[in-house]
Amino acid sequence: MMRFAGRSALVTGAGSGIGRACALAFAREGAGVVCGDRSDAGATVALIEAAGGRAVACTMDAGADEDVAGAVALAVERFGGIDVVHANAGISGGLASLFEQSADDWAEILRVNLIGPFLAIRHAAPVMAAAGGGAIVCTASVAGLRSGAGGAAYSASKAGVINLVQTAAQQLSGSGVRVNAVCPGLIETGMTAMVYDQARQSGKEGRIGRLNPLRRGGEAEEVAKVVLFLASAEASYINGQAWAVDGGLSSSHPFTRQDYGRTAV
């Protein structure tokens, strides 16, 4: 399939994990890809080019206004426009309780995880609308659907992303720009590496993802397939939605409660 032939995409957080998987997938299907990341996304670009694709690296802070504007401008300069944005960059903030994090901790998590997607929409949507339309997919999380799947600040930021795409879809009414979110569950990425490493070192790898009905963790490529679908013409009537890719975890969200006054473990 070449669903994005002749089109361009900006992926933030493209240096690793879900972002890299999505950047590679967009390129495989014909898109010219701007690979944005706070660290060097050159390795992702090298993989794309080695496979015959088109890509350019962009060092950026997804929560900085001028950086996001520059990434959108780079897509227009290099590829003649911007058709797709995957606002994926995010940070976890760990599993500390409400009482173990400061206002500064929360501000940074919200800046990257929520203000970042806002900036992507703010800067890319007008360019897309002027060209007749486009698609924006934001990475939220099952942690944004209800409690029990992440730390308090992280969960709040991802809940904000879900509401953001709903609000943006409404405010872009008539523009031809669709805005949706993908909500990953437990996916093996750099963000979750500690969980996977500890399980493997203790011989408990088989317990990874045991709380979801599929009884396993997910892979970044499985999320990428959903992101590409939501960004494609196949999803032309899907707008303002949040799709869970979690093995069924969010159908129940079982978890062990953290008692007040106890340190998260």
User: Known catalytic residues?
Assistant: 154
| Sheet order of strands, 54-59 included | 54-59, 32-37, 8-12, 84-87, 134-139, 177-184, 242-245
Tokens representing 168 are 């943006």
Whether 184 and 141 have beta carbons less than 8 Å apart is answered as: yes
Q: How many CA atoms lie within 13 A of 8 on its CB side?
A: 21
Whose CA is closest to 48, among 62, 34, 67?
34
Tokens representing 191 are 């963000």
Whether 91 and 109 have beta carbons less than 8 Å apart is answered as: yes
- What torsion do the CA atoms of 172, 168, 166, 185 make, to the nearest 10 degrees? 130
